[in-house]
């Protein structure tokens, strides 16, 4: 091995390192970033449910949704999956009489983040009714592919946190919709997820 060969080897190694550093720097400067997946934490707080679709947010009356779903299921003889209206904002679907999932409808008429901060709106009253000592906001965030729902969630999460209210969340998709309740617990809809948070 002569000196020229050794110089070539060192030059190539340095060049590869510089290339790797440039690629890492470019990736870290990418402004688009997905929020980290939620990490489950045990919590004695009770969830109050909200749903974010793009730039719209809606509160969910779980007990009313469950009552409507139970009524629809009792009026049907079919054991197959069946979709039915559980509120003006959501369609429900039972799965083998075991669980109730829901998907949003008519989202163009849903409230916005600005409505969340208004005391005289339904969404504002629902959000302000949370007691930080006993409740936490649990948000279903629809993964719409363009990140709009996640951006809206970040604003909504901060709004709750600024008021001392804990926030949990979970992403939902068409194939993995928001899960509400089990039919086996008919006397009370008690889907009580642990506190989900994005880290820490």
- What is the reported pLDDT for 175? 84
Query: Looking at the predicted structure, is the pLDDT value of residue 97 above 70?
Result: no
Q: Which residue has the higher pLDDT, 11 or 53?
A: 53
- What is the reported pLDDT for 178? 86
Strand partners of residue 58: 51
Q: Distance between CA 36 and CA 34 in Å, rounded?
A: 6
C-beta atoms surrounding 159 within 10 Å: 17
12: pLDDT confidence band, cut at 50, 70 and 90? low
Residue owning tokens 């990418």: 30
Q: Which residue has the higher pLDDT, 6 or 111?
A: 111
Q: Distance between CA 70 and CA 21 in Å, rounded?
A: 58
Q: Distance between CA 1 and CA 24 in Å, rounded?
A: 33
Give 149-196 pLDDT, tens digit per residue: 999 999 999 999 999 998 888 888 888 888 765 444 444 444 445 444
- What is the reported pLDDT for 64? 77
46: pLDDT confidence band, cut at 50, 70 and 90? confident
Strand partners of residue 49: 138
């Amino acid at each position: 091995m002569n000196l020229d060969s050794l110089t070539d080897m060192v030059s190539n190694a340095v060049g590869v390192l510089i290339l790797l550093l440039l690629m890492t720097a470019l990736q870290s400067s990418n402004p688009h970033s997905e929020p980290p997946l939620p990490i489950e934490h045990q919590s004695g707080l009770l969830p109050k449910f909200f749903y974010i679709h793009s730039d719209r947010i809606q509160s969910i009356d779980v007990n009313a949704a469950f009552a409507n779903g139970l009524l629809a299921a009792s009026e049907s003889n079919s054991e197959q999956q069946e979709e039915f209206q559980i509120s003006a904002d959501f369609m429900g679907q039972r799965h083998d009489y075991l669980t109730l999932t829901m998907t949003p409808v008519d989202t163009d008429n849903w409230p916005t983040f600005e409505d969340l901060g208004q005391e005289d709106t339904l969404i504002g009253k629902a959000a302000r009714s949370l007691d930080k000592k006993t409740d936490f906001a649990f948000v279903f965030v629809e993964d719409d592919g363009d990140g709009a729902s996640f951006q809206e969630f970040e604003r909504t999460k901060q709004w709750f946190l600024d008021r001392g209210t804990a926030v949990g969340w979970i992403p939902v998709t068409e194939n993995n919709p928001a899960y509400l309740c089990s039919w086996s617990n008919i006397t009370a809809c008690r889907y009580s997820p642990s506190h989900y948070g994005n880290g820490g």
